[in-house]
Structure 1
């Protein structure tokens, strides 16, 4: 069994209420902008009988719902750990990122399926001039928001803001495709080929769905790894390298590590095994060793939950 005098645990996590408040403000701004554009897009899509334009609006509405949930999650994360969630609420970040990516993936797949159905039963798009104006303006707004959110997140390193910035980029690319679609519609009608108009909207719908699909799939893969608790390879290698050097420096016979990541918080558990149970190590030295490890970890990420165990019994590995 573990010797209580020779084994001790330190848990260290960092966070800032100011950072969380700034995140909430950014997400609230994003939600307000998104819901405004989405309602306008759905309304114009129904008016112009454009399923591609309706897709753009629906895509934004789904994203707005996730953004609202993200704001609520940040309030819980800011509270820190409590009696029920003793490691805090950091797990909500990858959970929401996974839900967001899954929802947007479903929207893209539905767009492709609906576009194929539109090719089989074509219906002409009306008022493409007004739709082109909306698509062009929405593209500019989406690109501006993407740059703003990405720039604001450089210091915050928030998974929620990163996903939100990606959503703005995806939406901007979608509306850019719509702008091209309605521009082509104008050219086709100008050259006296109105029969082709019915096929442009579903073709662009399919192209947009396929072009946008890789982005939420990439987010789904990355956030899914965290949601399932799979050890991140980069963190695992970093911790192993740090612990190997510390074990060599302080003459420990063996060492073992376990790591996981939940949003911005990294969980690191380390076990250091002494060569002999007769070895005496002071608490001040154990604190020094922990401080060395924590300093190395903090150089890469300021947010971590660190546990360091000391023992002479390999059964505790």
Structure 2
């Protein structure tokens, strides 16, 4: 089974589990009267829709090229990540504002029995999906799957925090602090969303770097080191390197200036240099766009 097939299978399983969690959150949110559970369910529904989009992009990337998209479909990956991260950020911000409004209006009564049962089951599901996804992605190394694993971690942390808060609030009932229990649900939601907003925002910033073709420092340093070694060993005059990362793909260009009196200038010689560079760069050739050019005129490298 190829990495692309395993990635798609993992995303399909995640979609099914996310839909179950999302539907449960909506139902239990209504039954318990909990804003935080309803937010948890909506978060899962949005995450499932984004995972569906990620699955579609994964299938397109596996095709590599088409007549219309001759440079491949890699550019769709950061677009999906940007849309996903932006949507989750807006959802978290809206939930935070709603929670603050509920706190200011006197809180919200909650049926803790339903809430605790829901939270315990969902924490177990999220933990299982997080561990399975992380183990698989150690071999697949997919950014789409990495985002999905991050989504399960976020969902699990949200629900775990809800579980702790609901248990504490349930213990307060019948005590002198019972009057504070209506504030538990919106307070927990406000704290959670405020803490979670930076997580999808990081995904947004990383996706923007890919979309704007910002050169990754590590890839740039590696390309320069490989180019310098080739120049030294083969007696070329100079070299220019250009790198970019778009989703899982890496784009690298090497432009060498060859002396007019260079001893080896056959196509076979230059092809061997290309092989050396490809081997030194490494990685999956299917996710790498490598261009190696040679010229005797420096004007063609700038």
TM over 0.5: yes
TM-score by length of 1: 0.91
Among 154, 166, 172, the residue aligned to 2:156? 172
Change (3 A) 1:187 1:90: same
**Which residue in 2 is equivalent to 1:256?**
240
User: Which of 291, 294, 297 is the aligned partner of 1:310?
Assistant: 294
Structure 2 CA distance for aligned equivalents of residues 188 and 74 of structure 1:
49
| Aligned residues of 1:98 and 1:224 also touching (Cα < 8 A) | yes
RMSD: 1.5
The reply on whether 1:140 has 2:118 as its aligned counterpart is no
Scaled by the length of structure 2, the TM-score of the pair is 0.95
Partner of residue 32, structure 1: 16
Cα distance in 1, alignment partners of residues 232 and 120 from structure 2: 61
| 1:179-222 per-position Cα deviation (integer Å, ceiling 9, x unaligned) | 12211220221314332112111110111102212221222222
Asked whether the 8 Å contact 1:277–1:312 carries over to 2, the reply is no
Deviations 1:241-289 (A, max 9, x none): 1111111111111100111112211111110001337765011110110
Cα deviation, residue 239, structure 1: 0.5
Tell me how many residue pairs correspond in the alignment: 300
Q: 1 or 2 for the larger relative contact order (CA 8 Å, sep ≥6)? A: 1
TM-superposed CA distance for 1:294, in Å, is 0.2
- Alignment of 1:198 onto 2:198: no
SS state at 2:237 partner: strand
* Residue 218 (structure 1) aligned with residue 182 (structure 2): no
- Residue 307 of structure 1 deviates from its aligned partner by 0.4
Aligned structure 1 segments of 4 or more residues deviating by more than 4 angstroms: 277-280
Cα distance in structure 2, aligned partners of 1:19 and 1:93 = 16
Structure 1 residue 43 corresponds to structure 2 residue 27: yes
The CA distance in 1 between the partners of 2:212 and 2:127, in whole Å, is 32
Secondary structure, counterpart of 1:175 in structure 2:
helix
Provide the C-alpha distance between the structure 1 equivalents of 2:199 and 2:135, rounded to a whole number of angstroms.
19
Secondary structure, aligned partner of 1:231 = coil
Distance 1:230 1:201 in 2: 42
Q: Which consecutive residues of structure 2, in runs of 5 or more, have no partner in the other structure?
A: none
How far apart are the structure 2 equivalents of 1:112 and 1:228? 31
**What secondary structure, in the 3-state scheme, does the structure 1 residue paired with 2:2 have?**
helix
Q: Match for 2:71 among 69, 87, 100?
A: 87
1:78 Cα offset (Å): 1.7
2:215 to 221, 226, 231: 231
Q: Which runs of 5+ in 1 are unaligned?
A: 1-16
2:83 aligned to 81, 86, 99, which one? 99
2:101 is matched with 117
The question of whether the paired residues in 2 share the 8 Å contact of 1:98 and 1:227 is answered with: no
Aligned to 1:72: 56
